[in-house]
Amino acid sequence: MSFPPEAGVKYRQELPHGTDEWHELYSTGRNTVEGFNAFVKDTAYHALADPGQRRLRGYAAQYLLTTVLTAAANIRKITNYLADHHRVAAGEHVPPKRRRPAKRKTSMKEWEPSGEELAVGGPPT
């Protein structure tokens, strides 16, 4: 299906894609979904990403198992939240959740010899 330019469909968005307002509105939801996907795929608990852990044949069986694993992950999140909430209400100290360290942003270019180094030392051996 195509629309003529005068229809204005392409530019009819409330927030243009990629603007600061768009990122502010949509990034939280996307981060939440991606975080939950990683939570469910965690091999220490639910291992949804590991097909070797789901040894059932057939689409319906896989669908059912995926549903059960997702429900179990949701229950685990809820029980962890409630446990933390009750500890705080009881006055106990709840340590902050550990965060993964930020990924390093390095590349092999940092260790590549420059043109001068190659000219002075000759070709690498």
Query: Which carries the bigger pLDDT value, residue 78 or residue 1?
Result: 78
Is the pLDDT reported for residue 6 higher than 70? no
pLDDT tens per residue, range 93-117: 777 777 777 776 666 666 666 666 5
No. of helices (H) and no. of strands (E), the chain: 3, 0
The structure's pTM equals 0.56
Torsion of CA 26, 28, 29, 31, to 10 degrees: 120
Which positions ≥6 away from 39 have C-beta within 8 Å? Answer: 46, 73, 77
Ranges of each domain in the chain: 13-92
Nearest residue to 55 via CA among 46, 45, 65: 65
Is the pLDDT reported for residue 76 higher than 90? yes
pLDDT tens per residue, range 25-34: 888 888 888 9
Q: pLDDT at position 75, please?
A: 95
Average pLDDT over all residues of the chain: 80
Residues 63-90, mean pLDDT to the nearest whole number = 91
